[in-house]
Amino acid sequence: MTKRTGWWTLLAVLLPLLILILSLAVGSYRIPPKDLVHTVAGLISPSRHPDLPPAYKDILLHIRLPRLLLALIVGAALSLSGAALQALFKNPLVNEYILGISSGAGFGAALSLVFLGRGFPPQVAAFGFALLAVFAVLTIAGRSESSVVPLLLTGVVVSAFFQALLALVVYFASPYALQTLFFWLMGNLALATWRDVLLAGPVMLAAAGVLILLRWRLNVLSMSETEARSLGVHVRREKILVILVATLATAAATSVAGIIGWIGLIGPHLVRMAVGAENRRVIPLSAAFGACFLMLADDAARMAVSFEIPVGIFTSILGIPVFVYLLVKAKKVWL
Amino acid sequence: MSIRVRNLAFDYKDFRLRVADLGFERSRLTAIVGPNGAGKTTFLKCLGSLLPISAGAVMVDDRDLVRFKNRERARRIGYVPQEHGSVFNYAVLDFVLLGRAAHLPVFAMPSADDERLAREALDYVGLRMFAERPIAQLSSGERRLALIARALAQATEILLMDEPTTFLDMKHEVEILDLVRRLAREAGKTVVCTLHNLDMALKYADTMVFMKAGAVLAAGPPDSVLSEALLERVYDIPIRILAVDGRRVLLR
Amino acid sequence: MSLKGKRTASFLIWPALVLILASPAPSGQSRRTVVDSLGRTVSVPERAERILSLQPEISRIIVALGAGEKLVGVDYFLRRFDHAVSLVFPKALELPLVTRLGEDVNLELVLNLKPDVIFVSPSESWLADSLEAKIPMPVAAFSSLGSFENLFREMEFVGDLIGRRGRADELVRFARAELKAVRDAIGARPASSRPRAYLAFYSSLLRTNTSYEPLSEAGGVNAAADLLPVALGTKEAVVNVERLLAWDPDLILIQGNYLPAERAVTVESVLGDVRLRSLRAVQGRRVTYTFGFWHWWDPAQVLLETRYLARLFHPDLFPGFEFEAEGNRLYKAFYGRDGVFSRVSKTLKCEEWILD
């Protein structure tokens, strides 16, 4: 386990960074590669490269870099959460939105846009209501928390409830609030600013860190209730810990990037197909995969057309066929 | 007594389990037998604190088990379930490694020592060759051995096993029970199993516990408690006990 | 996920069918066919007395033609976002409100109002067909779509419809004369002295119109002219910041028809946006508002806009331009009242718009 883990760890760290650097070259504003390199060098030591158009620097530093960083962190956070929840709920079809996060966040954003106007960032309310939704799920599922079915079922019900509320708010919204909301709901990184990265980034990174620390423990938690308990795990407490941390990561990601689907489902699956279900590998590699995948999807979105297509559409367009192909081709039992 | 029961009561819907006073010794194999629905597995789970009891106590080293923290309890009592049907296909070694959870804090990774202990457990049950194999590819007998290995890696004094021989053919049945008895005799563990097969139970067990309808009808070494009257009371059919080649044989 | 709530009114199909089958054909009423902005062929009565207009442009034209009393119902927009209607035709505010979002048309109310024809906006392209399937009245989707010729044809058509063709022709002549005056003043200014302007419309920095006639009539060039419109028929396009940086327009014009408090994109927000600071328009502070276009115009306002833009693009050619006076003149020509634009200007803070 140790020798191969070393290689995988290296890959998990280096590949996203590589893709980040290469993705800096993608965008509507054509910057020749040589100038790109000079601009980056110029950022580090400004005095040596004074002749470049100021637009280059602004594009790199204020448009592309925050967007890519956000894609990296959001992709990692969503994929990690999905992987952790799949282990926890012993169900590889679970995704990071299963406990009502996306519906809660959508409702929060809509409420904020309609009542607080477009000047107030919808991220705050989105984050708040995402947490509220999960809290509602945990409370309602109540005593029977120890069995996973009521939790999932309650998640479905709470999701439906918030979606209905969302439809109600949307009905009374002005067309202009609706436009902004629609753009946000479809999931996109176009509005990414440094403020988003600096506010939501630390939350996601901290949550991701905790989940990575818990990677072996998730193996134990993926056993049946009885077994996990017999192995000495305080099932209820540790389950709540995982849910809480995964929720924080997903809520923070959703509040700044909208609802981007499929990452938390496809990432861990593909990783398990490649390296098996052991979570010491699956967890960090899922993070790396999610980061790369979202950056690449965003690159595709930016290269394909001159206007902004919500990146959520691209994660589906890219992800689903890849997933189906691998499912069909996979011969061995990979679960 | 390694583990002792005092006035244990467990209720679930219409089912009542009552066990007044029962003890299990170290280096001994105890078999809990009885018809379906007698409450054997339930009792075993109560012993392992895997089901909440309504009254009474399970005492380990003269301390009430509910006072133990989870990790502490898991370092004293290991549980081997009847089957393992996990969704995730871990490698056998990684699966056995999970037994070390009781010895690791929440955020810790298994160390080289933990891995060594897991391998030793695999060796003990004879699964060394299978270390890297995904667990779903094992036969049910081999999977049963893996579950036992996991409990061994847990390094507990007490081992509770639920029906370790169901669905196994005769050869594997004997192998597993040989292993289980070695665990008691050589490794000095307190082993408590529920067993379906009365013949095998009588052959291997040091102590028998006969259960029916949530109550213990008799408990003790087979020679002391076994009688045709008892068997008829427990199983509701007449059973004859014969001696063949100095071994006990049961005729239904 | 469905964004807007849908009111299924399929239960109304039955009473509607009964109505169609039971009601006799209008006796003696001749009809004409017209092709609307969506290419649909609609059969409308020769003359209409009761008009339900869910298209603010049409509503304003009808009021300008002096036939406001023929309006039987309006849509949400006119009540909420038209800054001049309270002066020009206050009765519009009391007309029944038939729809808020477009999809939620109150069919029973529509039937009760018994309109002879219903106008909708082509921006909700499905609405026309969906309405016609449920009610017996003709539904036509009209809009100028940012073209003056379309606007004039619309005015003539509406004039015919309500028997005010004379007045319509008069207004069209007036409008053409206005445009000609501007065109002549600009003369044959070469392309190099025609400033390139980027239109930030629809309350977003990144949504623009690829073809906007007031801009070209005023002697400017649309920075987004090389783009394909997102949906044919509306000439809108959505871009990203990098493309805007690549264009580097001389001027940025923000849609100013929104109330100042409701503007999501403002001059300050553009000037303060750190991503845009390399733009020459930002550095030269050549960022301001223009009236802009949702999917409908006010005919008086669009002429004013052309003059205003001409002044903005070529200040040396229009030295005597007085915003408020010009506005009042044009609004009076259409709506017959004084001081209308003063009110609008105060609401939209137009006095801040002129640069230099």
Please state the φ and ψ torsions of residue C180, each to the nearest 5 degrees. -65, -40
Nearest CB among A58, A118, A178 relative to C264 is that of A118
Partner-chain contact C2 A167, CB within 8 Å? yes
Partner-chain contact C275 A58, CB within 8 Å? yes
Crossing angle between the packed helical segments A2-23 and A279-304, to the nearest 10 degrees: 20
Nearest CB among A118, A176, A306 relative to C243 is that of A306
In one-letter notation, the amino acid at residue B146 is A
In angstroms, the Cα distances linking C243 to A25, A36, B67, C207, C266 are: 14, 17, 68, 12, 20
User: Is A296 in contact with A115 (CB distance < 8 Å)?
Assistant: no
What gap in Å lies between CA C196 and CA A198, rounded to an integer?
Answer: 36
Tokens of residue C347, six digits: 């609401």
The residue behind tokens 């021989």 is B165
Residues 54-83 of B with CB under 8 A from A: 70-71, 73-75, 77-79, 81
Residues with Cβ within 8 Å of residue C73, at least 6 apart in sequence: C52, C53, C95, C96, C97, C98, C109, C110, C113, C115
What gap in Å lies between CA A280 and CA A12, rounded to an integer?
Answer: 12
What pLDDT is recorded for position C18? 43
Rounded to a whole number, what is the distance in Å from the CA of A289 to chain B's nearest CA? Answer: 20
Neighbouring CB atoms inside 10 A of C39's CB total 9
The tens place of each residue's pLDDT in chain A, 335 residues long, gives 445 667 777 888 899 999 998 999 888 788 888 888 888 777 777 666 667 777 888 888 888 999 999 999 999 999 999 999 999 988 887 888 888 888 898 898 888 888 887 667 778 888 899 999 988 888 888 755 556 677 888 888 999 999 999 888 887 776 666 777 776 777 778 777 888 899 899 999 999 999 999 999 999 999 988 999 999 999 989 998 999 999 999 999 988 888 888 898 888 988 998 888 899 999 999 999 999 999 999 998 888 776 677 788 888 888 888 778 777 776 554 45
- How many contacts does A have with C, using Cβ atoms within 8 A? 82
User: ∠ CA(A58), CA(A62), CA(A65), 5° rounding?
Assistant: 115
Partner-chain contact A276 B87, CB within 8 Å? no
Which ipTM did the prediction report? 0.91
User: Is C60 in contact with C119 (CB distance < 8 Å)?
Assistant: no
In angstroms, the Cα distances linking B111 to A229, B76, B103 are: 22, 21, 11
Which of C310, C308, C301 lies closest to C330 in space, CA to CA?
C301
In sequence order, what are the beta bridge partners of C145?
A: none
pLDDT digits (tens, 9 = 90+) for A148-207: 677 888 888 999 999 999 888 887 776 666 777 776 777 778 777 888 899 899 999 999
What pLDDT is recorded for position C234? 56
Mutation for testing the C interface, residue in A171, A180, A303 having most C CBs under 10 Å: A171
Taking CB atoms and an 8 Å cutoff, what residues of chain C touch A171? Answer: 4-5, 101, 104
Taking CB atoms and an 8 Å cutoff, what residues of chain A touch C277? Answer: 54, 58
Strand segments (E) across C19-146: 31-35, 41-45, 51-53, 71-75, 97-99, 117-120, 139-141
Domains defined for chain A, CATH in brackets: 16-329 (1.10.3470.10)
Neighbouring CB atoms inside 10 A of A197's CB total 21
Whether B154 and chain A come into contact, CB under 8 Å, resolves to yes
Q: Do chains C and B touch (3 or more CB pairs under 8 A)?
A: no
Q: Which CATH superfamily is domain C30-171 in?
A: Nitrogenase molybdenum iron protein domain (3.40.50.1980)
User: ∠ CA(A76), CA(A80), CA(A83), 5° rounding?
Assistant: 145
Please state the φ and ψ torsions of residue B194, each to the nearest 5 degrees. -95, 135
- How many contacts does A have with B, using Cβ atoms within 8 A? 92
CA A269 from centroid of its chain's CA atoms: 15
SS3 C200: strand
Partner-chain contact C245 A168, CB within 8 Å? no
Nearest CB among A28, A163, A182 relative to C246 is that of A28
For A26, nearest residue in chain C (alpha carbons): C242
Domains defined for chain B, CATH in brackets: 3-251 (3.40.50.300)
Residues with Cβ within 8 Å of residue C249, at least 6 apart in sequence: C195, C196, C197, C198, C223, C279, C281
Torsion sign over Cα A201, A207, A213, A216 = negative
In angstroms, the Cα distances linking C206 to A242, B205, C253, C344 are: 40, 80, 12, 26
What pLDDT is recorded for position A146? 54
Whether B115 and chain A come into contact, CB under 8 Å, resolves to yes
Taking CB atoms and an 8 Å cutoff, what residues of chain B touch A334? Answer: 89
> With a cut of 50, which residues of chain B have pLDDT below it?
none
What pLDDT is recorded for position A215? 94
Partner-chain contact B81 A224, CB within 8 Å? yes
pLDDT digits (tens, 9 = 90+) for C90-142: 888 888 887 766 667 778 888 888 899 999 888 777 778 888 888 888 999 99
User: Is C355 in contact with C312 (CB distance < 8 Å)?
Assistant: yes
> With a cut of 70, which residues of chain C have pLDDT below it?
1-29, 100-103, 228-234
Neighbouring CB atoms inside 10 A of B82's CB total 15
What pLDDT is recorded for position C229? 60
Q: Where are the alpha helices (DSSP H) in chain A?
A: 2-23, 33-44, 54-58, 65-88, 101-115, 122-141, 148-172, 175-185, 194-213, 215-221, 225-230, 235-257, 263-275, 279-304, 311-329
Crossing angle between the packed helical segments C165-186 and C148-162, to the nearest 10 degrees: 160
User: Is A37 in contact with A58 (CB distance < 8 Å)?
Assistant: no
Class of domain C190-352: alpha beta
Partner-chain contact A58 C277, CB within 8 Å? yes
- Averaged pLDDT of chain A: 84
Partner-chain contact C3 A306, CB within 8 Å? no
Neighbouring CB atoms inside 10 A of B230's CB total 16
Q: Give the DSSP per-residue string, A172-238.
A: HS-HHHHHHHHHHHT--STT--HHHHHHHHHHHHHHHHHHHHTHHHHHHHTS-HHHHHHTT--HHHH
Residues with Cβ within 8 Å of residue A255, at least 6 apart in sequence: A105, A109, A122, A123, A124, A126, A127, A130, A200
Burial-class residue C25 by CB neighbours within 10 Å (0-12, 13-18, 19+): exposed
SS3 A292: helix
In angstroms, the Cα distances linking C228 to A306, B166, C194, C234 are: 10, 71, 22, 11
What gap in Å lies between CA A122 and CA A178, rounded to an integer?
Answer: 13
Partner-chain contact A27 C277, CB within 8 Å? no
Domains C30-171 and C190-352 share a fold: yes
What pLDDT is recorded for position B145? 92
For A225, nearest residue in chain B (alpha carbons): B50
Taking CB atoms and an 8 Å cutoff, what residues of chain A touch B110? Answer: 216
Q: Kindly list the domain boundaries of chain C, sorted by start residue.
A: 30-171, 190-352
Taking CB atoms and an 8 Å cutoff, what residues of chain B touch A90? Answer: 86-88
The verdict on pTM exceeding 0.90 is: no
What pLDDT is recorded for position A62? 87
pLDDT digits (tens, 9 = 90+) for A12-37: 889 999 999 899 988 878 888 888 88
In one-letter notation, the amino acid at residue B5 is V
Q: Helices (H), strands (E): how many in chain B?
A: 9, 12
Residues 215-234 of A with CB under 8 A from B: 215-217, 219-220, 222-224, 226-227, 229-234
